[in-house]
Structure 1
Amino acid sequence: VREYQHGDEIRNIDWRVTARMNRPYLKIYREERERSVILCVDIGMQMQFGTCKTFKSIQAAKVAALLGWSAYGHGDRVGGLLFGQKAPKFFRPSRSQRSLGQILRNLTIPPNNDVDTSTLDEALQVLNHSSGTGSLLFVITDFNQTDIPTLQRTLSQLRQHHEIVLISIYDPADYDLPAIGQVGFIAPDGTKVYIDTDSKAGQMEYRKTWETKRQILKQTSQSLFIDLFSISTQDDVYHSLLKGLQQHVQKRRTHR
């Protein structure tokens, strides 16, 4: 059982527990207790980067570990999908501590310098065909190499069957580049752009491009009613994750 929340079905109230506790409690059916939590984590080379306390890859691994062990502790099945290397690696949801440990161990393996790497969209397509329905999906990446229009189409399909939370891992140097000469990167429209970081105008252009892509990502998540929050390489993962999840739960209750 759990406490009754506004919007719950009154017919599912457990009246015996309600009378004993003097507060309304709801019966939880087996399907509700057996939800799968899937950790979709970017293990690509670009995550091996950080100019502050740690790398983006380490922050992502900490986030996945906290989410995974929390779900395991609540009796949920935990699955994983790691992308950014040659092909997405899918771990089917399981209640096994050994299975969760295998997912987390894979997050500690140094990435290969493969040119042909899997994308976030390819990973999400795997979930589209492998994870059934009703899962809680956490997508953990920096979104720097993500094609937003493609992501929007894929998330639009996934959200019909799953609950999704996007967690963006970033480093201050992602938007505030030091003076290191000519730098090539992918613009929001998918084209490759070169910026002279030695010039102030070049640095401003880079920051503007990054902020534009972030705004597009935010608008995309809002249009799909998908929560998005960010954790930097300077942040305490536990407190940042707790804050983001509390906001997520509050929004769910508001929209029920």
Structure 2
Amino acid sequence: MISIDLNCDMGEGFGVYTLGYDEEAMPHVSSINVACGFHASDPANMWKTVRLAKQYGIAVGAHPAFPDLVGFGRRSMAASTEEIKADVIYQIGALWAFCQAEGIKMQHVKVHGAMYNQAEKDIQVAVAIAEAIKAVDPGLYMLCLGNSTMVEGAKQAGVNYVEEAFADRAYTAQGTLVPRKQAGAVIHDVSLVSERVLSMVKHKEVAAIDGSIIPITAQTICVHGDTPGAIDMIKAIRHKLEQEGIALKPFGLTLK
């Protein structure tokens, strides 16, 4: 049976402010990426999210970012590789402690926002992230945008990695994500997104924004839980996959 992992960013509330639909989305995904306090979240929200993941049997990963609460981690920073490594290690360690407290094992690390965007283009940033992950726990997986510099960075550092695709994001003909500021970068049509995910998983290809067909090799698909209609979209994706006999499993189970 074919299987795929669906991952979703969660725990991005802060204090009394709630962001996203964590409790509604949690039962319909197989892995989550928990914000670690630098772009969103706080200790109480991190712990709450890990507890929810344990309740639903969902695999947990850390979601480190640049220290940018105001910009939600989406603003690029001219950080040195040593600063990036320190920031990533610090954030992994924070979430690791909550996982330990709940008796669960962390599966992976997926960096957020601007750090992710820099890593997919800059080999030094990608290697710094990979080295930080390996330094904390060589058993952790690094989530990498498929066919990007992140994959090369993970290989150079010798860290476990999986390639990731995005359910609701448009791709360029070169296989990179269309920048969010460009029209059509985010796809809101639930039926279209479901069909695209099925194509990614079953046929290992997807239509780029210019209509060309590009190859996609992914062990995990990112779905977003903080946009209008997100829950309906996640449910539709899962239903489409299950209709085709495709199982949802954390990649950590299938790659052992």
TM above 0.5: no
TM superposition score normalised by structure 1: 0.36
TM superposition score normalised by structure 2: 0.36
Q: Which one has a bigger Cα radius of gyration? A: 1
